[in-house]
């Protein structure tokens, strides 16, 4: 991965990925999308990583959008391919077997909000602003914004944000269900890492089962979703972590999960 566009560091079992284009407000160009794909693929396959935190460099932006200068030069076919490139990467993140937390430290607009929404959880600074302003550029969301926002916030909010292009503050984003938590900007890193470390201490296979059930169940009927959940529940009985968790509960001690 290119350290010029993406920084990676580990804090215990938590991998922190930082989009490193602060001079461009961390805008997503093709190189950044490719670096993110590489980084998330590596995190998914690394047994030492249990949780991923994604954020943007600098004090102003998580990701302020896709790179407009690059998009301005694209042909229709290239535009479609650029959208598919971003969608593939974000779908990979969405279906990751490990929790991914977006630490939204500033603007999350256009492709930035789309990137945050493909993460499993979103913790936002109280100074953050989010939105889908593509209509102001003569565009529409291209990395899945119309679809994920619809599923998170509902039809009315999605139409408002996508048709007006106006950003909203973190408090309203929380009210609409677009972010999970809003915290003071000065406490964003500490509170996000506390959440990440809490998840990292949980049973990895159980976390994966939850992610699989919600991803699968969200796209199918209730009967199929319930059957899938029951099958995943049964699989947990084959894990050492299930025996450890239940034994620790009965012994009134803290469990030590190994991911087996």
108 φ, ψ (degrees, to nearest 5): -130, 90
Mean pLDDT (whole number) for 200-206:
95
Q: 190 in a domain, yes or no?
A: yes
Q: How confident is the model at residue 188 (pLDDT cuts 50, 70, 90)?
A: very high
CB 162 within 8 A of CB 156: no
Same domain, 240 and 172: no
Query: With bands split at pLDDT 50, 70 and 90, how would you rate the model's confidence at 219?
Result: confident
Q: Is 3 a catalytic residue?
A: no
- Pair (192, 89) in one structural domain: yes
Active-site position among 3, 47, 94, 134: 134
> Residue 2: its pLDDT value, please?
60
Q: Are 27 and 65 in contact (CB under 8 A)?
A: yes
3-state SS assignment for residue 127: coil
Stretch 222-240: mean pLDDT: 94
Tell me, yes or no, whether 83 and 28 share the same domain.
yes
Same domain, 18 and 56: yes
Would you give the distance in Å from CA 171 to the centre of its chain? 19
- 116 and 130 housed in the same domain: yes
Are residue 137 and residue 166 in the same domain, yes or no?
Answer: yes
Tokens 């580990």 sit on residue:
10
172 and 60 co-located in one domain? yes
Q: What pLDDT was estimated at residue 5?
A: 78
- What pLDDT does 4 receive? 65
- What residues contact residue 230 under an 8 Å CB cut-off, 6+ apart? none
Q: Which one of the listed residues 94, 114, 223, 229 is annotated catalytic?
A: 114
**Cβ(132)–Cβ(113) under 8 Å?**
yes
User: Active site includes 114?
Assistant: yes
Residue 206 has phi, psi (to 5 degrees) of -70, -40
Q: What is the mean pLDDT of residues 134-139?
A: 96
- Residue 50 predicted with pLDDT over 60: yes
The predicted-structure confidence for 140-159, as pLDDT tens digits, reads as follows: 999 999 999 999 999 999 99
The CATH number that applies at residue 182 is 3.90.226.10
Q: Name the band, by pLDDT with cuts 50, 70 and 90, for residue 139.
A: very high
Shared domain for 35 and 129, answered yes or no, is yes
Q: Are residues 99 and 125 in the same domain?
A: yes
257 within a domain of the structure (yes/no) = no
Query: First vs last Cα of the chain: how many Å apart?
Result: 29
Query: The CATH number of the domain where 219 resides is what?
Result: 1.10.12.10
- Measured CA to CA, the distance from residue 74 to residue 184 in angstroms comes to 39
Domain count within the chain: 2
The answer to whether the pTM exceeds 0.85 is: yes
Domain membership of residue 229 as a residue range: 204-251
11 and 66 together in one domain: yes
- Kindly state whether residues 192 and 209 are assigned to the same domain: no
CA separation for the pair 33, 71 (Å, rounded): 13
Per-residue pLDDT, 210 = 96
Do the domain assignments include residue 140? yes
């Amino acid at each position: 991965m290119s350290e010029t566009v993406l920084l990676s560091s580990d804090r215990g079992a938590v991998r922190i990925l930082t989009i490193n284009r602060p001079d461009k407000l961390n805008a997503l160009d093709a190189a950044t999308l490719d670096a993110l794909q590489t980084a998330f693929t590596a995190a998914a396959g690394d047994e030492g990583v249990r949780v991923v935190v994604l954020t943007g460099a600098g004090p102003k932006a998580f990701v302020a959008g896709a790179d407009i200068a690059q998009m301005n030069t694209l042909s229709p076919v290239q535009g479609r391919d650029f959208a598919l490139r971003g969608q593939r990467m974000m779908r990979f993140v969405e279906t990751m077997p490990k929790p991914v937390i977006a630490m939204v430290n500033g603007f999350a607009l256009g492709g930035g909000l789309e990137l945050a929404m493909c993460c499993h959880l979103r913790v936002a600074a109280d100074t953050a602003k989010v939105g889908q302003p593509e209509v102001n550029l003569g565009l529409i969301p291209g990395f899945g914004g119309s679809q994920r926002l619809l599923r998170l916030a509902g039809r009315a909010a999605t139409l408002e944000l996508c048709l007006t292009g106006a950003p909203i503050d973190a408090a309203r984003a929380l009210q609409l269900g677009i972010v999970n938590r809003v915290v003071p900007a000065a406490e964003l890193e500490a509170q996000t890492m506390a959440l990440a470390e809490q998840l990292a201490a949980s049973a990895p296979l159980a976390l994966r089962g939850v992610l699989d059930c919600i991803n699968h169940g969200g796209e199918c009927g209730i009967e199929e979703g319930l059957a899938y959940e029951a099958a995943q529940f049964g699989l947990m009985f084959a894990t050492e972590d299930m025996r450890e968790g239940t034994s620790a509960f009965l012994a009134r001690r803290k469990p030590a999960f190994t991911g087996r």
